[in-house]
Amino acid sequence: MTRKSYKLNAPEPQGTSELLENLNPVQAEAASLVDGPLLILAGAGSGKTRVMTHRIAYLIRECGVWPEQILAMTFTNKACAEMRERVDEILGDDGLDEARRVTISTFHSLGARLLRIYARDLGLSSDFVIYDDVDQMALIKRLMEDDDRDKDRSEARRLRGFIERMKNRGLTPEQAHEEVYDSNTENDVHFYELYQSALREANCVDFGDLLLGLLQVLRNDPKTAKSLSNQYRYVMVDEFQDTNPAQYELLKHLTREHNNLAVVGDDDQAIYRWRGATVANILGFEKDFPNARVVKLEQNYRSTQTILDAANDVIELNTQRRPKKLWTDNVGGEKIRCFTASDDREEAAYVAREITAYSAESVPFGEMAVFYRTNAQGRAFEEQLRFAQIPYRVVGGTSFYAREEIKDVLAYLKVALNPRNEVDLLRVLNKPTRGVGKTSIDRLRIAGASTSIWSAIEAVAHGGQQQSLEFLEAAKLRGKSKTGVVDFYEVVREVQAMLDEGQELAVVVSELLDRIHYLDWLQSHDAERAEDRTRNVGELVNAIMEFERESDLEGLDVLRAFLDRSSLVQATDDLGSGAVTLMTVHGSKGLEFDVVFLAGMEDEIFPSVRTEDPEELDEERRLAYVAITRARKELVITNAKRRRIFGQYRPTTPSRFVLDIDPERLHVDSASTSSHVDYVRGAGSYGFRRQLMSPDNSMWDYDQTTPMTRGAVRRAIQSQKNVDEFSQVAPDADEPVFDVSAWDQEPEPSHSGDDGLHGRTVSHATFGEGKIMKVSGTGPKAVLTIQFPGTGEKRVVRKYVKVL
DNA sequence: CTTTGAACTCTTTTT
DNA sequence: GAGTTCAAAG
């Protein structure tokens, strides 16, 4: 990569730039302090994204910095997309596409991208595959068996946790060894070592490796570090309070040539300690970067005074924090509404009812959100919102790409790309069932012990040609298990062949599905869920097609890029849509909504049961602070007197965080089954109250006869009128839906915008000649539905066929 | 080898 | 209450 003219020293800002006109003086200062280390302490809602985006624009416009020289790190892909969009807006459309040229990335995406380039330095080939946590667990369990440890699930989880912690701290197994202080840890480190070499053998990396691997490259090869640092002349980091030591070290490497590191963060919003993040990074920033300048953003532009006060009531009880006070011009505001339901279902029903009511008062669905502490709580809300015909989208939870059927299909592709990848290989070797059971798998593993399972499979498939030990061992397979293994081998080879030919990815997948009768298998194997799963597989094909069409990559690179994306991006990462957002509090970080419902505010839910020491409680408190400060206009806090946990009802107590809020700011919805008169302010009172509580849950003051308020009734009635306008939940209605059922049907002719292609005969590398039945889109990337005699109907992108 | 059913366990939070 | 694991029958 050659950059001829680096701006080595960007000029100090001269006077005012019109770019900064829309910022307040402190924001403007933060955006224009361009050189050297900078710490921006940005309270909730103080416009930090605004500052960062303007800063990027300022660098480009006023300081003559090339977009390619700017690196901005965020925590989620969602945040990346938003930042890019906003930079684009500020810069305006001048045809230079500057926003696109800035590197805006998550740490992990950057890691994946750079590791593809430097894979060799780590003994990986660039075909390496990324393991998600399910794959990781599969590998760990297998290794535990080999290492004959107790094959205990919780032990496996513990080991995964250990490995993850090591990687978060940037420690390789060798480095971890030096830290060992007892024999148990010694043992764990040994396992870490084992795990790491298994990953390398399989030519795979896990999530932590995306960072640790990159770190290793930078540590071992100063030249690479230097050139990267020179390329990224200006580095910015969002949510700096949530960086872990590995990420921090990475930043140091990347900025060592210039020290131009601007970090934005808020210690009150640090919520990823459990993931290895340490506030030490933000608290000690000035120590590591002695000449760092510090800017504090304390004016809140988001919430009402009431909401801000409530948030402050909660957070001020934390002891370990940089003192700061947020203020706003936005005085007053509605009181925070509290509602206590009799159980979790009623809680959800209440929220649904209120959403309808707000909607009737013309709050758009997209401006409302429901937050909860754990993903499991989301289901109740899904049910009730669906029932109330409210459009919603669930963010987080099981990601699309983590679903079984999706992982299955992708596993075939991953094996085709990298057959040494044993986790994926074992995942689909007998899926759909081919008669290859545990015994056969064990034999293959023994046969391939010195090489790989794949080579043992190859040996079986190639029959008596080879006389190696592997072959002898593997040759014990006979009958159904042998034909099964051979069949699997052939499937993978066929996929590889199609990929080698440069066949379109979506076609490869369709062929694969046909070849292994995957959809039939889904149907016979688990009829109940088959419909959903079939649709998901169809959506996967759609996503692949879409990706391929938009991608400017060629050949196998498309597949690699798609697979990387599937491991790094949540399918729900896209923003926008007129639907109510359902998500965990963690997921809400960085977002804002007019109306926020904060549900399940009960002790042992929020704060979580698993909170043990005071530091963890502090973190829960910060989490509550984050939740509250997401709300612009109104906040509704709900809880339930009893809740189903482990499938049975258990009594609850109100969250101490609600008790911490000055009752002055609360308005108890009298439709509640409890009057909340018990809500007394003060953290100190909590422990005391808890002692007082009798086992029969007398904390809650039963008062079930209270009628709904007139306001609530009014809203409920109003809402009835509006219900019909909203269709059944269709979160991604504008996405093209791949109609799987159409695969077996007769093609239906169509003439929409077909460039005159309709009915023409085409020739395709694999399928031969066929007739175009349907055209959607125009140009080389249009999707053609083609009837191939002998093969049947296929959808193919225009550029892959020749029109005869 | 595969399927079935009963027993058993686990629940934070996510890139 | 859901997902996983284990044993026994097909």
**What DSSP assignment string belongs to A126-181?**
TT-EEE-HHHHHHHHHHHHHHTT----HHHHHHHHHHHHHHHHTT--HHHHHHH--
Distance CA(A296)–CA(A284), nearest Å, equals 16
Look at residues A637, A644, A652, A649 and name the one whose alpha carbon lies nearest to residue A602. Answer: A652
Residue with tokens 């039963």: A702
Spot the catalytic one: A269, A340, A570, A629: A269
The confidence score (pLDDT) of residue A246 equals: 96
Rounded Cα distance between A52 and A31, Å, is 7
- Minimum CA–C1' distance nucleotide for A585: B13
Which residues in window 147-176 of A are less than 7 A from strand B by Cβ? 153-154, 157
pLDDT at A571: 61
Give the residue-averaged pLDDT of A715-744.
31
- Angstrom distance (rounded) from CA A542 to CA A131: 23
Residue A21 has pLDDT above 50, yes or no: yes
Strand order in the sheet with A234-237: A103-106, A70-74, A234-237, A261-265, A38-42, A293-297
Q: What are phi and psi for residue A290, nearest 5 degrees?
A: -55, -35
Pairwise CA distance, residues A147 & A162, whole Å: 17
Taking the C-alpha atoms of residue A303 and residue A753, their distance in angstroms, rounded to an integer, is: 48
- pLDDT band of residue A574 (cuts 50, 70, 90) is low
Protein-to-nucleotide distance from the CA of A434 to the C1' of B7, whole angstroms: 28
Instruction: Using DSSP bridges, classify how beta strands A631-645 and A593-598 pair: parallel, antiparallel or unpaired.
Output: parallel
**Assigned token pair, A588:** 């809400």
Nucleotides of C under 7 A from a protein CB: 1-2, 4-6
- Establish whether A97 is a catalytic residue: no
Which range among A55-59, A578-582, A642-646, A769-773 shows the weakest confidence by mean pLDDT? Answer: A769-773
Distance A487 CA to B1 C1' (A): 16
Instruction: Tell me how far CA of residue A166 lies from CA of A107, A161, A270, in angstroms.
Output: 17, 9, 20
Nucleotide nearest to A383 (CA to C1'): C1
Residues 6+ apart with CB under 8 A from A373: A584, A585, A600, A605, A606, A608, A623
| Beta bridge pairs of residue A369 | A581, A596
What's the rounded mean pLDDT across residues A423-440? 89
- Name which of A470, A438, A466, A469 is nearest A456 in CA terms: A470
Segment of A422-436, A760-774, A781-795 carrying the highest mean pLDDT: A422-436
Per-residue exposure over A243-256, b if at least 16 CB sit within 10 Å of its own CB, e if not: bbbbbbbbbbbbbb
Peptide bond into A695 cis (omega under 30): no
Q: pLDDT tier at A732 (50, 70, 90 boundaries)? A: very low
Q: Which nucleotide is nearest to A648 (CA to C1')?
A: C1
Q: What is the pLDDT of residues A287-321, one digit of tens each?
A: 999 899 999 999 999 999 999 999 999 999 988 78
Is A398's CB less than 7 Å from nucleic acid strand B?
no
Specify whether A384 is catalytic: no
What would the pLDDT profile of A331-386 be if each residue is shown by its tens digit? 888 999 999 998 899 999 999 999 999 999 999 999 999 999 999 999 999 999 99
CA angle A345, A350, A352 (to 5 degrees): 95
| Of A255, A256, A298, A263, residue with least CA distance to A284 | A263
- What pLDDT, on the 0 to 100 scale, is given for residue A709? 30
Cβ atoms of A652 and A604 within 8 Å: the answer is: yes
Per-residue pLDDT band at A461 (split at 50, 70, 90): confident
Judge if the beta carbon of A795 is closer than 7 A to nucleic acid strand B.
Answer: no
> How long is the CA A749 to C1' C1 vector, in angstroms?
48
Q: Assess whether A467 carries a catalytic annotation.
A: no
Q: Which helix (H) or strand (E) holds A455?
A: helix A453-461
- Give pLDDT, residue A729: 28
Nearest CA-CA partner of A712 in A651, A667, A650, A752: A667
User: When comparing pLDDT for A15 and A703, which is higher?
Assistant: A15
Query: B2 C1' – A565 CA distance, angstroms?
Result: 36
Strand A70-74, strand A103-106: pairing: parallel
pLDDT of residue A649: 87
Least confident of A335-344, A483-492, A545-554: A545-554
Per-residue confidence (pLDDT) for residue A697, from 0 to 100: 36
pLDDT value of residue A6: 40
Report the candidate in A43, A12, A7, A9 with the shortest Cα–Cα distance to residue A29. Answer: A12
**Is the model's pLDDT at A714 over the cut of 50?**
no
Catalytic residue among A98, A238, A309, A511: A238
Q: How confident is the model at residue A594 (pLDDT cuts 50, 70, 90)?
A: very high
A169 is catalytic: no
Nucleotide nearest A207 (Cα, C1'): B15
Hits for CB < 7 Å against strand B across A residues 522-551: 525
| pLDDT at residue A330 tops 70 | yes
A77 vs A106: CA distance, rounded Å = 6
Query: Helix, strand or coil for residue A489?
Result: helix
Phi, psi of A31 (to 5 degrees): -75, -25
pLDDT band at A601; cut points 50, 70, 90 = very high
Rounded Cα gap, residues A159 and A196, in angstroms: 12
Q: Decide if pLDDT at A576 tops 50.
A: yes
Listed residue (A476, A483, A508) closest to A494, CA to CA: A508
Q: Which of A221-225, A253-257, A411-415, A716-720 has the lowest mean pLDDT?
A: A716-720
Burial call A384-411: b when 16+ CB within 10 Å, e when fewer: bbeebbbbbbbbbbebbbbbbbbbbbbb
Instruction: Give the pairing of strands A392-394 and A580-584.
Output: parallel
Residues 98-127 of A with CB under 7 A from strand B: 106-109
> Which residue in A7, A35, A49, A535 is the catalytic one?
A49
Where is average pLDDT lowest: A147-156, A356-365, A458-467, A680-689? A680-689
Catalytic residue among A188, A239, A309, A754: A239
> Stretch A745-759: mean pLDDT, rounded?
53
Is A298 catalytic? The answer is: no
Lowest mean pLDDT among A293-297, A667-671, A771-775, A798-802: A798-802
Structure tokens that stand for A140 in this block = 């760990």
Q: Percent of chain A at pLDDT above 90?
A: 53
Across chain A, mean pLDDT equals 82
Q: Which of A482, A484, A416, A483 is nearest to A454 (CA)?
A: A416
A72-85 mean pLDDT: 91
SS3 state of residue A667 = strand
For residue A763, the model assigns a pLDDT of 80
DSSP secondary structure string for all residues of A289-315: STT-EEEEE-B--SS-HHHHHHHHHHH
Residues A336, A338: Cα–Cα separation, whole Å: 7
Side-chain half-sphere CA neighbours of A275 within 13 A: 12
**Tokens standing for residue A258:** 């210039």
Tell me the mean pLDDT in the region A273-296: 90
Q: CA A154 → C1' B8, Å?
A: 14
Q: Before A789, cis peptide (omega within 30)?
A: no
Quick one: DSSP state of residue A429? T
Helix then strand count (H, E) for chain A reads 32, 21
pTM (two decimals):
0.82
> A86 CB contacts (<8 Å, ≥6 apart)?
A49, A50, A53
Using the predicted structure, report yes or no on whether residue A682 has a pLDDT greater than 80: no
Length A63 CA → C3 C1' (Å) = 56
Radius of gyration of chain A (CA): 29
| Shortest-distance nucleotide from A567 CA to C1' | B15
Nucleotide nearest A610, from its CA to each C1'? B12
> Looking at residue A327, what DSSP letter applies?
B
Main-chain dihedrals φ then ψ at residue A735, nearest 5 degrees: -75, 145
Cα separations in angstroms, A192 against A151, A202, A220: 16, 15, 21
Q: Which nucleotides of B are covered by protein (CB under 7 A)?
A: 1-3, 10-15
A630, A774, A795, A798: the catalytic one is A630
The confidence band for A555, taking pLDDT boundaries of 50, 70 and 90, is confident
Residue A681 confidence class, pLDDT cut points 50, 70, 90: very low
Give A614-643 pLDDT, tens digit per residue: 889 999 999 999 999 999 999 999 999 999
Active site residue A745: no
Q: Which nucleotide is nearest to A646 (CA to C1')?
A: C1
Across A146-170, average pLDDT: 86
For residue range A115-137, list pLDDT tens digits in order: 999 999 999 998 899 999 899 99
Q: Is the pLDDT of residue A475 over 80?
A: no
Task: Name residues 208-267 of chain A with a Cβ under 7 Å from nucleic strand B.
Answer: none
Q: What is the mean pLDDT of residues A165-179?
A: 93
Of chain A residues 424-483, which have a beta carbon within 7 Å of strand B?
A: 430, 433-440, 480-481
Q: Is the pLDDT of residue A418 over 80?
A: yes
